[in-house]
Amino acid sequence: MKQNVELLSGPVAFGIAAWLLSGTFSLTAALALATALWMALWWIFRPVSIYVTAFIPIIVNSLFNLIPMNHVISQYFSEIAVLLLGSDLICLTWTTTGLDKRISVRALCSIGTSMKNQIFVWFMASTVLSIFLPNVVVAAIFCPIAVAMLHFVGEKDISTSKTAIPILLAIGWGSGIGGFGSPIGSSANLVAISYIEQLTGHEFMYLDWVIRFLPILAIVSIVNLLFLFCMHTPVKTLPGTKGYFQDMYKAFGPMKRGEKIGLVVFAAATILAFVRPLFAALLPAMKPAYVFLFMGMLMFFLKDENHNPMLTWKYAESHVMWGMIALFASGLALGRMVIETGAIETLSAIIASLNLTPGIAVMAIGCVFAVFLSELSSNTASASISIPVVTGIAQSLGLNPIPYILGTIAAANCAYILPVSTRAIPIGYGLSAGAQISYGVRLSIITVIVVTIVCTLCMDFIPMFSAL
């Protein structure tokens, strides 16, 4: 019965919302916004996989013809989807060769025995790695290692362990926020870049992103760490953890040829993405998306130490995160529907009519809206919906939309509460969902205030922040 109610919640809410909104919005715009509500409800209740929900924009558009269908379909293998595929192909070889565990354990060998050291290293390792790797991948790498360590020190039941809570939260939250440290850290960032490039009419270089966001990430990381340090833990120290990691690392032995290839290829793709200004004139079409796909394709031809291909199609077919790509695409597709039907224009006009004060008020609306959507769905969907809204508000007030977009995307990567997206992985390894929600609500409020203030100050006092 419960599952049937949850299943019906989406289409029923879709119908009711479309009827209620049609008085204020055009019918097509009302249907587009109702589609967002349908998807949000199914993302919350999950009567079906979130990846099944990702295809709702295609179904709705085929029924109501809201916008040209090719505008929707094209989002499911856009340039950004190509980048995600290429990056995923490279990272798959990290798993097949064991490079992922080697890097993780090596980074953790320096952990001391105090809980604060534990929290600091798990959080910082998750944050830094998720700058370069998909945050879901980082959480999936670290959680099982952390659980193994906790079992080693006597925490048998993770779901009831109070010692496990700050460590697993550090991994889940660090993996989430680290994503906005670089364009490739989160697919939501790529959505923001797409909108910025449309606004400015020229390519947004990856170096520009890092210069603007790393300082903000540093501040948010400090806030997160202070919050984690203040959490009550039943013990102050854990015995034997440093030796545990050192013994595990020694068991790996020397780095193998396959591991070296996986590391070098990923490093090369990342470096080429960041130094694109050096060869953009020579290879104008070789954008980061195609650099990563090219490097990912090499994995089918390069051989490991056993003279086997680094990657086979059979393995790639069953292990590539197709669902993640579809989920990312659904956010873009929904964004196109909401924009092209005029829903964003009308919504922006309504919010603009509230006589908002330019500056912190507009920044706060963008940040709160983005965090709210990220909690309900994913930061990709949040970026796809919130950025057009914030852009419309800024333009209707005659403001430069760039700093507000940057603030919105930073906030979209700072979700802590519901077990959705990356935050679902620690739950899967035993973290109490109730603990995550309880602590997450408090940290979410603190972080959104900090991001709003910091981005407003950057906009007011650092001209470079607003100029692209």
| Between 103 and 128, the higher pLDDT residue | 128
Exposed/middle/buried for 11, CB within 10 Å: 0-12, 13-18, 19+? middle
| Between 419 and 149, the higher pLDDT residue | 149
Residues 212-255: tens digit of each pLDDT: 898 999 999 999 999 999 998 888 877 666 777 788 788 888 99
Range 306-310 contact pairs with CB under 8 angstroms and sequence separation of 24 or more:
310/93, 310/96, 310/97, 310/258, 310/261, 310/262
Domain boundaries, the chain: 1-48, 79-319
Cα(278)–Cα(269) distance, integer angstroms: 14
Exposed/middle/buried for 219, CB within 10 Å: 0-12, 13-18, 19+? middle
Query: Phi and psi of 114, rounded to 5°?
Result: -80, 150
Cα(320)–Cα(85) distance, integer angstroms: 7
Q: Output the pLDDT for position 382.
A: 77
CB 388 within 8 A of CB 335: yes
Q: Output the pLDDT for position 198.
A: 81
Q: Output the pLDDT for position 104.
A: 67
Q: Output the pLDDT for position 218.
A: 95
Secondary structure of residue 303 in the 3-state scheme: strand
Query: Phi and psi of 43, rounded to 5°?
Result: -70, -30
Q: Output the pLDDT for position 276.
A: 80
Asked whether residue 377 carries a pLDDT value surpassing 70, the answer given is no
Q: Output the pLDDT for position 406.
A: 92
Secondary structure of residue 408 in the 3-state scheme: helix
Look at 61-75, 146-160, 194-208, 341-355 and tell me which has the smallest mean pLDDT. 341-355
Residues 3-58: tens digit of each pLDDT: 788 899 989 999 999 999 998 899 999 999 899 888 878 877 778 887 888 899 99
Q: Whats the size of the chain, residue-wise? A: 468
Q: Output the pLDDT for position 454.
A: 95
Residues 283-318: tens digit of each pLDDT: 888 888 888 899 999 999 999 999 999 999 999 999
DSSP state of 67: S
Residues 340-372: tens digit of each pLDDT: 898 877 876 776 677 677 789 889 988 998 887
Average predicted confidence (pLDDT) for the chain: 85
Q: Output the pLDDT for position 427.
A: 78
* Stated pTM of the model: 0.68
Sign of the CA dihedral running 175, 179, 185, 189: positive
CB atoms within 10 A of CB 281: 7
420 confidence band (pLDDT: 50, 70, 90):
low
Exposed/middle/buried for 371, CB within 10 Å: 0-12, 13-18, 19+? buried
User: Across residues 95-124, what is the average pLDDT?
Assistant: 81
Asked whether residue 65 carries a pLDDT value surpassing 90, the answer given is yes
CB atoms within 10 A of CB 113: 15
Cα(27)–Cα(21) distance, integer angstroms: 8
pLDDT > 70 fraction of the chain, expressed in percent and rounded? 94
Q: Output the pLDDT for position 257.
A: 94
CB 178 within 8 A of CB 225: no
Which tokens in the block code for residue 172? 């889940």
Which tokens in the block code for residue 73? 């379909």
Q: Left if phi > 0, otherwise alpha if psi is -120 to 50, otherwise beta: which for 68? A: beta
